[in-house]
Structure 1
Amino acid sequence: MLERLRRLFKKDQLILLGAGVSVTVIMIALYVSQPKFLHLLNLKIYDDYLRQYHQPAATRVPVIIDLDEKSLSELGQWPWPRYRVALLLKYLTAYGAVAVASDIIFSEPDRTSPAIMKEDVKRELRIDIGFTGLPGDLMDYDRLLAYNLKGGPYILGFDFSRESVPSDHDCRVRPAKVSVLSPPGAPSPHDFLPRAKGMICPIPVLAEAAPECGFITITPDLDSVYRRVPLLYSFEGRYYPSLALATLMQATEKKDIVLKMSPVGIESIRFNDMVIPTDSRGQLLINYRGPMRTFEYISASDVLARKLPPGSLRGRIAFIGTSASGLKDIRATPLDPGFPGAEAHATVVDNILSGQILSVPDWAPGLEFLAMLAGGLATTFLLMWARASWIILPVFCMGGVMWYGSVFFYREQEFFISPMYSYLTLGLTFITLTLIKFWREEIAKRYIHGAFAHYLAPSVISQIMDNPEALTLEGQEKEITIQFSDVRNFTSLSEKLSPAQVTNLLHDYLTPMTRIITEHEGTLDKFIGDSVMAFWNAPLDIENHQEKSLRAALAQQRRLGELNETFLDKYGFAIAVGIGIHSGPVRVGNMGSDDLFDYTLIGDNVNLASRLEGLTKFYGQTLVVSQAIKDACGDGYYFRILDNVRVKGKEAPVTIHTVYTLQEAQARKAELDLYEKARQAYVDRNFDGAGTLFRELRETGAEPVLYDLYLERCEHMKDAPPDCDWDCVFTHKTK
């Protein structure tokens, strides 16, 4: 498997692939483990969705009967006498309420009842008191309230506790009738529902009289914000409904609840043909409609004072609660840090009646997992094949798709699909891989600088450092200009010197020569004793590489003239150098074994360039170039044709030239023009005329080796004239 990956990807790509997969796997592990800080961050994202996209109340059914500051001011502090509570319930039904739920627990007897007051005074003060003209029904306010409860659609609240609660009376709260619909092998609902160890109940006389009771227990999340409410609780093997669910049961007169199970927990609660999606623990995600007072609030004192229009509560469900800060029924929600508990229950009723219930579907973890996997791997593969700056837009697009997909599910389907983990995976993968690419690029730049600093021009190194992708060290076919240079008769010259002097001479000569090559954007290939091989147009493309090679050669000739003055003083002799230049397609790249290789050239055109350097001595020239160089350099130089030749090892003829600057050519114009006439006569088989002109050049010109060569040929051709198909090509038998 690893070997297959190595064949498919480069080393850097494998590193990025491994890092990207590792980041994705780590994020998946975090997703599974749900650490606290990430869970809290996810909750804040949910809160942000709720703040941005919450909708107003969908129904006008719930209404809050508020024990507000006004009521407490007008009617006295809480708790009120139970007869007043009975009046409040009676008036609410008279105004048309179909159900009245109390978010207040009547867990102790009313100490203001006359019968209890009489007993307390006798026990504590040892005085018997009596009440004149007071009907017997008003002696016990709890029984009066109980009598009223039996005749109306009332629901009392109670609370669950995680600890055992000592009580001086029995709890008479009745459990709900719950049917369980579960597939074979599914666990018991009691294993998933919230479980309590104790109950804080209404006193027995009230619990028995009330048609329904519902728990008001809501547990906050880790950040003390209330987002979910359980619809059922498990206690001693029985099921108990929440205040909101019990209120709906009373209002609709439907008492049966169906609990649908899945292999991973609770799936939904069915009630009155309504399917209420819940989490695996039977909790409803509250779709808050807004801050406090999103639903209608009516002061309890106004109800008791009969100030409401007749029928103003017809068909509505009233929740008795308090917004008074002193009564401490205030809770933090995503939309309001001070939200009355009664309005939370009202919101649940509105959610269920409207069907606008937020949920996290069973398939949400799978979708979030796939989004993480897709985001991490897509970012990895993009960064493997493209520069980080190029994929910023695609990464933003992926992030946008994830975000707006999540928003679409939330707004249109009322599903919360969290984008957090996929966002974190996308961002961390991008950041990690970008840093790794930066690190690898820095390593590559240091490697490139170290590998090429001694044989590349600084400008070329700068280009490679700025754009390492442009550097190709693998073998490729490419047009390259090749230059070979060699010191003439170096072996015989070195015999006159000690080894140390030979080393110093080579250093003094090669240092300026190679510096000229790199200054003209050439690449130094190798030293072969006193010979130098260089090339242009690799590893980076070099514009006008033929001309730059030619300019370098001419500069080397000039610099050699300056060096020879020093060499004469230091070593007692001057040196002569021959340079051959040719341009053509070659194979360029790392050549050698797996363990040892060089970045160099191979190909027939490399051999030809070497042969041209060898011909410099034969023709008495310091510089010999091919026709390819002449064709590429145009009219900026004077090219004097030397010969048409077949070099050793090649059948195809090559036209070779030497080169002068235009200023040099102008200074030697007469000699060069005469040479052109002489050579043309030679080509036209006028060997007598050519010989005469070459003899004149030999006497007056500056290049006796070249002119003697042609004189010798002319004499030979006169004695042994060539065949009629003679092509003017001279074949060299040696290098």
Structure 2
Amino acid sequence: MLAFIKNAFKKDQLILLASGLAATFFIALIYNQHPHFLQLLNLKIYDQYLKEYHQPVATHVPVIIDIDEKSLAEIGQWPWPRYQVAKLMKYSQAYGAVSVASDIIFSEPDRTSPITVQDSFKKELGLDFKYSGLPAAYQDNDVLLGANLKTGPFVLGMNFIPTITSDSVRALNRGCFVKPAKIAVHSTKDAISMYDALPTAEAAICPLPVLAKSVKHTGFITTFPDPDSVYRRVPLLYVWHRKLYPSLAMAALMQATGVENITIRMRSQGVESIRFNKTIIPTDKNGRILINYRGPTGKFEYFSASDILKKRLPMGALQGKIAFIGTSASGLKDMRATPLDPSYPGVEVHATLIDNILSRQFLVLPDWATGMEFMGLILAGITTTLLLMWARATWMIVPLVGMAFAMFAGSAYLYKEQGYFISPLYSYLTLAVNFTLLTLIKFWREENAKKFIHGAFAHYLAPSVIGQIMDDPDSLTLEGQEKDITIQFSDVRSFTSLSEKLSPTQVTNLLHDYLTPMTRIITNHDGTLDKFIGDAVMAFWNAPLDVENHQECALNAALAQQIKLEELNELFLHKYGFTIAVGIGIHSGPVRVGNMGSADLFDYTLIGDNVNLASRLEGLTKYYGQKLIVSQTIKDACGDNYYFRILDNVRVKGKKLPVTIYTAYPLEQAKSRMEELELYEKAHAAYLNQNFNEAKALFVELQQKNVEPLLYDLYIERCELLIQNPPDNDWDGVFVHKTK
């Protein structure tokens, strides 16, 4: 065989054949491993198909009852009393809805119930009063809602918690009276248990018992995004305590159709499909269905909750509809990123699933997709190799482009016409890798390698693209302006380790207790809040409106934040058992400020090197043990209104020029520490003058005061190092920070 191959092919062709087959084998190994970055790329291809070929709403059966801004203005702020919820559901039924499902979980008692208000006044204020003329049925709003739930086609929502560790969260399992689904299982001989395949919960957030016992169906709203934080699929069933529970969409559909049984088909890999009535729903091995989104937000019909409560709709407006109660009001809505909309209401996901199931328009990753994708990459690799063995690369562009188009057209046809997603990614990758590799080999063997590489790099690094953007800045779609801005970054020290001691609810409360007063301080000092980055805060001054003395305003805000934090820490120590420390960095300089982002979604913010420098200054607070670090621009702008204590001359990561950094004190505070501060200035001056023995002695004296040990320890260590290794004559005292 080897002799035949040697006789049939020339040496150059053998090299190309071996290289092409090796490259194809390598791509096949990558396909078997399916690395994370290629998974993400595959998901983006899927998203592009969905954007290109998504279909409009097919059934118009699901609708949204929206607790919108108009409803809040007319009915009152949320949460509404449960009797209002009862009215909303009953009126929706009266308008003809065959199923009314709540995307809102009623897991806590209604605080506005007369009996609850009565108990609260008695316990908290010592006032014991009775209601006069109030029927017993209206004493408890939850009981009233429960009584109404028994009389209609109503479905309540719940939420599953897959993994828990806190005992406080485990208490959520208690008193849950939701009803499991009736499941029939069809299994092949080698099938695994459905309990091993379906997602499993350790805890649940359930409706109140008086509510859960009053409805026939309850559905979960639990779902999780793909690795890129985009929601593409949802589970239809969840396992909890060895029982199965349907999703909210499935529960609403069961309520509307009267179908009680769900059939699940199991195989060796997991779930094959889920059958509802006569509809077979294709799922992945974990019982999740790909959501065939119909478009961005607003594709389903919305009805304002206030219009229903005020009876403004024509009779029969919801006839035959499956209605989901959700909210689009600011601060209440549950937004999720989807392939078609970065801010998609979660309630529309349930409506989309109903539309998919009723229309039987499913998207599927079929069992044979893996085999077809694998054969596609093998075919692409072999074909590309054989073509390039006998022809020049330039002659192969047309047939290879044709082959690439054919792969895309076939994949797109299966998606558009059959709903099957067969990714052409690895076929394209094989084609591209083989074409590139074999073309480079042919160039290497036919021409001078150095000239080729130099020419290729010169081509790829042509400066004309940058020049075009600089010559025509109006070609950019996003607008903004260059302006002198003061930027402040603040961050809670070691927040991750602190949050590990708390439950998720406590972490949320802690952030609320901290961020609320800090935000008010910023806005009260004429600042603009840019964003929250977890526990970090970014703010700026002098935009969008001009702020006089904006550097001083920012510094005053930082000093006020420090004072406020001392008050908050007393609360935190009592409430959470610990205090927090915050570092603040402030810098001023020209930046680009305006609407930044994409053409569809943008934010008013700022970018520029000075923004990065402000962030670096905040990061340095940990290194120097300071609560506040400011730049030279802040010191120059604020003049003699504060005492500025020089900390260092540094070159931060990512910058070439050194920066002088300071911390700042109010003058009254500085006067109380003047002896220490003057001694520090003397020590720092000795350090800069390379009198390291004198500087060390002074820093040791400061260290004994035990006021700021981290800063003094830092300089003692530097002095000792420089005494042992004296610097060159051109030493400028600049310290280089290699980390952020």
Aligning the two structures, in what range does the TM-score lie when normalised by the shorter sequence? 0.5 to 0.7
Which whole-Å CA distance do the structure 2 matches of 1:443 and 1:341 have between them?
Answer: 60
Per-residue deviation, 1:111: 1.0
Amino acid in structure 1 at the alignment position of 2:23: V
Deviations 1:444-494 (A, max 9, x none): 999xxxxxxxxxxxxxxxxxxxxxxxxxxxxxxxxxxxxxxxxxxxxxxxx
- For 2:17, the equivalent position in structure 1 comes to 17
Residues 677-716 of structure 1: matches in 2 within 5 Å? none
> Counterpart amino acid of 1:84?
Q
Secondary structure of the equivalent of 1:306? coil
State how 1:265-414 maps to structure 2 within 5 Å: 265-414=270-419
Aligned runs of 1:367-516 on 2, under 5 Å? 367-442=372-447
Q: 1:376 to 1:325 in 2, by over 3 A?
A: farther
After superposition, the C-alpha distances for 1:280-301 in whole angstroms (9 at most, x for unaligned) are 1111100000111100011101
* 1:46-85 alignment, distance < 5 Å: 46-85=46-85
Instruction: Give secondary structure in 1 for the equivalent of 2:64.
Output: strand
**Quick check: 1:323–1:330 contact (8 Å CA) kept in 2?**
no
Q: Could you tell me which amino acid in structure 2 is paired with residue 97 of structure 1? A: A
Q: How far is the alpha carbon of 1:77 from its aligned partner?
A: 1.4
Q: Is the Cα–Cα contact under 8 Å of residues 149 and 211 in structure 1 kept in the other structure?
A: no
Are positions 1:167 and 2:171 aligned together?
yes
Q: Report the 3-state secondary structure (helix = DSSP H, G, I; strand = E; otherwise coil) of the residue aligned with 1:312.
A: coil
Contact kept, 8 Å, 2:282 with 2:289, in 1: the verdict is yes
Deviation at 1:74, TM superposition (A): 1.5
Aligned twin of 2:91: 91
Cα distance in 2 for partners of 1:335, 1:97 equals: 28
The aligned counterpart of 2:474 is none
Q: Give the Cα separation in 2 of the matches to 1:386 and 1:216.
A: 58
Distance change >3 Å, CA 130–CA 402, structure 1 → 2: same
Within 5 Å, give how 1:75-224 maps onto structure 2.
75-164=75-164, 165-167=169-171, 169-224=174-229
Q: Distance in 2 between matches of 1:433 and 1:234?
A: 52
- The 3 A distance-change label for structure 1 pair 445 and 279 is closer
In 2, Cα distance between the equivalents of 1:181 and 1:161? 28
Change (3 A) 1:353 1:444: closer
> What is the distance in 1 between the residues matched to 2:111 and 2:356?
38
CA distance in 1, matches of 2:449, 2:227: 48
RMSD: 1.5
Distance of 2:203 and 2:27 partners within structure 1 = 40
In the TM superposition, residue 139 of structure 1 has moved relative to its aligned partner by 0.4
Question: Cα deviation per residue 1:32-86 (whole Å; 9 max; x = unaligned)?
Answer: 2121111111111111111111111001100000011111122121111000000
Amino acid at match of 1:273: K
SS class of match (1:178): strand
Instruction: Measure, in 2, the Cα distance between the counterparts of 1:296 and 1:313.
Output: 10
Relative distance call for 1:272 and 1:15 in structure 2 (3 A) is: same
Give CA deviations for 1:250-290 in whole Å, capped at 9, x if unaligned: 11100111111222221110011100011111111000001
Structure 1 residue 123: deviation in Å? 0.8
Find the aligned partners of 2:315 and 2:391 in 1 and give their Cα distance.
Answer: 74
Measured after TM superposition, the shift of residue 205 of structure 1 is 1.1
The 1-side partners of 2:355 and 2:379 are apart by 38
Q: How far, CA to CA, are the matches of 2:170 and 2:306 in structure 1?
A: 34
Q: Matched residues in 2 for 1:191 and 1:385: separation?
A: 53
SS at match of 2:312: coil
Amino acid at match of 1:55: Q
Q: Distance in 2 between matches of 1:166 and 1:132?
A: 41
CA distance in 2, matches of 1:373, 1:191: 34
* Structure 2 residue runs without a partner (length 5+): 452-740
- Cα distance in structure 2, aligned partners of 1:70 and 1:4: 82
Offset at residue 443 of structure 1 (A): 6.7
1:36 equivalenced with 2:36 (yes/no): yes
- Deviation track 1:606-641 (CA, whole Å, cap 9, x = no partner) reads xxxxxxxxxxxxxxxxxxxxxxxxxxxxxxxxxxxx
Given that 2:443 and 2:449 are in contact with CA atoms closer than 8 Å, whether structure 1 keeps it comes out as no
> In the alignment, is the contact (CA less than 8 A) between 1:97 and 1:313 conserved in 2?
yes
Amino acid at match of 1:38: L
Could you give the per-residue CA deviations for residues 291-350 of structure 1, whole angstroms, max 9, x where no partner exists?
111000111011100001001111010000011230141111111111111111000000
Structure-1-length-normalised TM-score: 0.60
Distance 1:279 1:325 in 2: 35
Deviation per residue, 1:575-630 (Å, 9 max, x gap): xxxxxxxxxxxxxxxxxxxxxxxxxxxxxxxxxxxxxxxxxxxxxxxxxxxxxxxx
Deviation of 1:206 (Å) = 0.8
CA contact (8 A) 1:65 1:321 kept: yes
Q: Partners of 1:166 and 1:268 in 2: how far apart?
A: 32
Shift of 1:442: 2.4
**1:637-652, aligned counterparts within 5 Å?**
none
Flag the 1:445–1:229 CA change in 2: closer, same or farther, 3 A.
closer
- Distance apart, 1:117 and its partner CA: 1.0
> Aligned to 1:367, what secondary structure does the other structure show?
helix
- Report the alpha carbon displacement of residue 7 of structure 1 after superposing the two structures with TM: 2.6
TM-score (norm 2): 0.59
Q: Structure 1: which 5+ runs fail to align?
A: 447-735
CA contact (8 A) 2:145 2:211 kept: yes
**What CA distance in whole angstroms lies between the structure 1 residues aligned with 2:112 and 2:30?**
58
Letter in 1 for 2:389: M
Tell me by how many angstroms 1:4 deviates. Answer: 3.5
Paired positions, count: 446
The corresponding residue for 1:254 is 259
Contact 1:371 1:422 in 2 (8 A): yes
Larger Rg: 1
What is the distance in 2 between the residues matched to 1:226 and 1:351? 16
Is the 2:190–2:267 Cα contact (8 Å) retained in structure 1?
no
Q: Conserved in 1, the CA contact under 8 Å of 2:179 and 2:216?
A: no
Superposition deviation, residue 163 in structure 1: 2.8
The within-5 A match list for 1:715-734 is none
Q: Partners in 1 of 2:115 and 2:351 — Cα distance?
A: 36
